[in-house]
């Protein structure tokens, strides 16, 4: 229910199907997300099961079944917490598939641990982030200091070559003022700790110190299964229609121009002020750029698109990031 999490999980499904010991792979999704899932897994023997997504979530349109469609990321915790309604149907479908050797769950779907335990299935967690990110989440807990200003750099004890500021570290939600976010974070944390393992979209040689730190200081044990983006993509469609951004990149390649790719992901909540500052920076850089923003992010400054039309393209939709990064003009 978040493309940034879903895509590497689909790559993982392809990887698992290559293993002789794996008899079958089944992917659970929701009706609105199913077309994207089935298209991404075309040419494989993967089964796809859809479970209705809960409706009636306050402030969230009933058609929304993915985080990139949320009007604001402030609604994320309510959106993610509502998925617990799917648990009974999920368990009913799982029972039909028994015996199951392993359940790989997005980390935010904490309640799947309860389902796995009920049915005697090992659960492994997948967040999609690096060993560095996981290790730093643990290590920065030792950083906060009452005698340091919020904007003063502080050395991370476990990694003395890294400095952070207190105001760079997200505050844990307050149980009184934001109980939904607090309960969600606590449930996610506890479910992760009590799972069999953590799958990481990385490889040991890239960040050995952070993997070693996590496995010596935290639970559960982490295993590297990446980089998952290297898994073969789906078979291309016959005469596929190229998106506008692909034609634009081709044109820049013909001119010998190098393009800067700018994107912060569907879960980043960028303020209007920040968007305008980024727009100013891109305009002043005089670089060719492809900038992907959310549909709701519209405040880029008067006349921005017209002024940069010859060297910049703003896209307000989901894009195939892997294809963009593989394009010869993006370096």
| Active site (catalytic) residues | 5, 106
Report CA-CA distances (Å) from 292 to 135, 168, 245: 29, 24, 10
In whole angstroms, what is the distance from residue 228 CA to residue 15 CA?
Answer: 8
**Contact in structure between 10 and 74 (CB atoms under 8 Å):** no
In whole angstroms, what is the distance from residue 110 CA to residue 188 CA?
Answer: 5
**Contact in structure between 269 and 74 (CB atoms under 8 Å):** yes
In whole angstroms, what is the distance from residue 320 CA to residue 322 CA?
Answer: 6
**Contact in structure between 26 and 48 (CB atoms under 8 Å):** yes
Gyration radius of the chain's alpha carbons: 22
List the structure tokens of 64.
Answer: 């929304």
In whole angstroms, what is the distance from residue 278 CA to residue 205 CA?
Answer: 34
List the structure tokens of 196.
Answer: 């069999």
Residue 23 is given by DSSP the state -
In whole angstroms, what is the distance from residue 132 CA to residue 224 CA?
Answer: 12
In whole angstroms, what is the distance from residue 106 CA to residue 103 CA?
Answer: 10
């Amino acid at each position: 229910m978040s493309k940034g999490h879903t895509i590497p999980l689909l790559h993982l499904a392809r990887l698992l199907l290559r293993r002789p010991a794996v008899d079958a792979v089944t992917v659970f999704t929701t009706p609105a997300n199913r077309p994207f899932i089935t298209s991404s897994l075309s040419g494989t023997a993967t089964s796809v099961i859809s479970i209705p997504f809960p409706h009636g979530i306050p402030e969230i349109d009933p058609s929304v079944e993915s985080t990139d469609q949320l009007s604001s990321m402030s609604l994320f915790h309510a959106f993610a917490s509502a998925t617990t309604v799917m648990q009974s149907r999920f368990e009913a479908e799982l029972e039909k598939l028994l015996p199951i050797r392993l359940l790989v769950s997005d980390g935010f779907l904490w309640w799947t641990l309860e389902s796995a335990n009920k049915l005697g299935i090992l659960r492994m967690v997948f967040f999609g982030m690096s060993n560095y990110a996981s290790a730093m989440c643990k290590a920065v807990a030792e950083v906060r200091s009452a005698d340091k200003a919020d904007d003063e750099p502080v050395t991370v004890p476990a990694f003395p070559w890294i400095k952070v500021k207190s105001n760079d570290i997200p505050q844990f939600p307050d149980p009184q003022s934001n109980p939904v976010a607090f309960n969600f974070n606590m449930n996610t944390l506890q479910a992760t700790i009590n799972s069999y393992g953590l799958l990481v979209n990385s490889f040991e040689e890239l960040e050995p110190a952070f993997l070693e730190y996590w496995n010596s200081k935290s639970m559960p044990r982490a295993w590297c299964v990446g980089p998952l983006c290297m898994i073969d993509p789906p078979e291309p469609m016959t005469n596929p229609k190229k998106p506008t951004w692909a034609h634009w990149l081709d044109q820049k390649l013909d001119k010998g121009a190098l393009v800067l790719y700018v994107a912060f992901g569907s879960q980043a909540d960028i303020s209007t002020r920040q968007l305008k500052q980024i727009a100013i920076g891109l305009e002043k850089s005089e670089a060719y750029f492809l900038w992907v923003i959310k549909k709701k992010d519209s405040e880029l400054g008067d006349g921005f698109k017209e002024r940069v039309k010859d060297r910049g393209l703003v896209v307000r939709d989901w894009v195939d990031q892997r294809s963009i990064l593989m394009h010869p003009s993006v370096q």
